[in-house]
Structure 1
Amino acid sequence: MLDSGASDSEEAARAYYATSDVDAFYDAVWGGEDIHTGTYARADEPVADASRRTVEQAADRVSDLLHSGSSVLDLGSGYGGATRCLAGRFGCRVTALNLSEPQNRRHRARNAERGLDHLIDVVTGSFHDIPWPDHRFDVVWSQEAFCHSGDRARVLREAVRVLRPDGALVFTDTMAAEDASAEALRPVVARLGVEALATPGFYRRTLSGIGLSRIDFDDRSEQLTRHYERITDETRRHEQELRRVISPGYVDSLLANLPLWHAASRRGDLRWGIFHCRA
């Protein structure tokens, strides 16, 4: 049974991602495929291109485990950009576990359009209670999903539980700096429905405590600043277009909240990067 923190965060995430406003925003500004932080080669690079680069570079870290006979679990798979990338590049089977059924319907449709539905299973469910037995997957993958959890230690325990002994956990997440004030970040994270963000130190300590000894964190926090600058700029540039397809209140909330993320990353209160972990 979930505790109140985990269940409340699930309800907040489910409600947030169930709206057509969110879909339209990610289509217009993010490209509608990957909905996580990008790795930028230049300041004006399209958000979609930078976001796909993050997927490719995270996949490089576990490429030794990925082939036609391997299995991947994507926790919080969103619209399925990463699952299609992995299945298409490596021919591996990918199971996508995601809380939002509207996102999952869209995910399944795009898999079919790309001819990848035979390699990808999309399951509606919670990463707080992963519905598979121990040691089931070669790779457990996640991108900017753990920040939505109200019980991240539980999510990590579940992720490691279903990982094969010689497998790997690779994930990205938006985190707080070790010395950042939770109070100062509260207005920033309000839309996530959680009280606070994890820190890189929390992830290191927790993963070490549940049996992973090789924990590599590639700190790319400077990319977070660039990413939120690009997202804020693109939202402003598309504002009138967005107001034709999104409720005005949602556009207003974006224009109020996104600069808070940009400012927090610029003053060093946020962290982001790629974790690659093995036993």
Structure 2
Amino acid sequence: MTDDPTDAPTAPDHEASTRHYYDTGDVDAFYDAVWGGEDIHIGVYAHPEEAIADASRRTVQHAADGIADLLGPDATVLDLGSGYGGSSRALAERFGCRVVALDLSEEHNRRHRAANAKCGLERSIEVEAGSVSHLPYESGRFDAVWSLEVLCHVPDRPDALREAARVLKPGGALVFSDIMAAETTPPQALRPALSRLAVETLATPSFYLEHLSRLGLKAEFEDGTEHLVTHYARLDHEVRHRTGELRRVISAAYLDELLDNLPLWVDISRRGMLRWGLFHARRPVV
């Protein structure tokens, strides 16, 4: 499945919509209360009732294991769509590496910087505002490029992948996860669920593998779709069982939207219409 330029918004419009969505107080309150306010992505679950925040942190740990050979005090990682900075801090703490964190949302970046300062990591992590499709960095700068569930928000995913590959050093690694459509899922079947995120279409695993290969990267896909099913079931459960509590911190309109929208995600994930997992790609040394 590829993006359809006839019905997708232009990049500036799409980025403005994404920035507006993530800069709202309701979204921050939801991620704080339900997701833990640190890592905003699909979790790797040890069991179906595990806390969302714990599973989400395990995703970071597992993804980092795949690039551990590249990281250390002399390495620099680019965290694309860094959110509240959970990944950036985990990488800096574990490996002592330097992290450049890029995100569209100024509210995310403000909170990210404040959390870094509280942890004493403000000198290890450079937080910048910007677009993943137009990276303001020289070619071959980074030992690794990292991104968790960001490309599903990007209208021109091939451009974003080209930019990520461009800034990698020879031998460097691109590791990312994304929420995707199953190969045979028709785009229209997903649109009711996608509407809340202002997303028109999702990519597929084969789409990413094909484009990574075109860029000269050796790539593998680690399918973790079973965790996606668990994750949306956990989100739906948490929101429904904590509705009274959430109404004190989230507007009624946004909470009602979640109550309507999350069951759609549970349904399409259980019906096998979605895919999720980690891509591990390396730029050849030559």
2:214 aligned with 1:206, yes or no? no
**Deviations 1:83-137, CA, capped at 9 Å, x for gaps:** 0000000000000000000110000000000111110000011111011010010
2:222 aligned with 1:218, yes or no? yes
Cα contact 1:97–1:123 (8 A) shared by 2 = yes
Letter in 2 for 1:270: L
What is the rounded CA distance, in whole Å, between the counterparts of 1:227 and 1:4 in structure 2? 28
Q: What residue number does 1:73 align with?
A: 78
**Deviations 1:123-157, CA, capped at 9 Å, x for gaps:** 01111101101001000000001000111111000
- Secondary structure of 1:194's counterpart equals coil
Q: What residue number does 1:103 align with?
A: 108
Q: What residue number does 2:5 align with?
A: none
Letter in 1 for 2:238: E
Cα contact 1:24–1:246 (8 A) shared by 2 = yes
Aligned pairs for 1:62-141 within 5 A: 62-141=67-146
CA drift of 1:5 comes to 2.8
- Secondary structure of 1:244's counterpart equals coil
Gaps of 5+ in 2: 1-7
CA drift of 1:6 comes to 1.9
Aligned pairs for 1:1-12 within 5 A: 4-12=9-17
**Deviations 1:193-223, CA, capped at 9 Å, x for gaps:** 22100000100111111111x2110001011
CA drift of 1:8 comes to 2.4
Q: What residue number does 2:253 align with?
A: 249
- Within the candidate set 169, 176, 183, 2:188 is matched to 183
Q: What residue number does 1:278 align with?
A: 282
What is the rounded CA distance, in whole Å, between the counterparts of 1:221 and 1:4 in structure 2? 28
**Deviations 1:212-257, CA, capped at 9 Å, x for gaps:** 1x21100010110000000111111221111111110000001111
Q: What residue number does 1:40 align with?
A: 45
Q: What residue number does 2:3 align with?
A: none
**Deviations 1:53-87, CA, capped at 9 Å, x for gaps:** 00000000000001000000000000000000000
Cα contact 1:7–1:150 (8 A) shared by 2 = no
What is the rounded CA distance, in whole Å, between the counterparts of 1:137 and 1:191 in structure 2? 34
Letter in 1 for 2:110: R
Q: TM-score, normalised by structure 2?
A: 0.95
Moved more, 195-204 or 235-244: 235-244
**Deviations 1:32-51, CA, capped at 9 Å, x for gaps:** 00000000001111000000
Q: What residue number does 1:262 align with?
A: 266
Provide the alpha-carbon RMSD of the alignment.
1.0
- Secondary structure of 1:245's counterpart equals coil
Q: What residue number does 1:164 align with?
A: 169
What is the rounded CA distance, in whole Å, between the counterparts of 1:5 and 1:159 in structure 2? 20
Letter in 1 for 2:173: A
CA drift of 1:4 comes to 5.0
Q: TM-score, normalised by structure 1?
A: 0.97
What is the rounded CA distance, in whole Å, between the counterparts of 1:216 and 1:207 in structure 2? 10
Percentage identity across paired residues of the two chains: 59
Which aligned segments of 4 or more residues in structure 1 are displaced greater than 6 angstroms? none
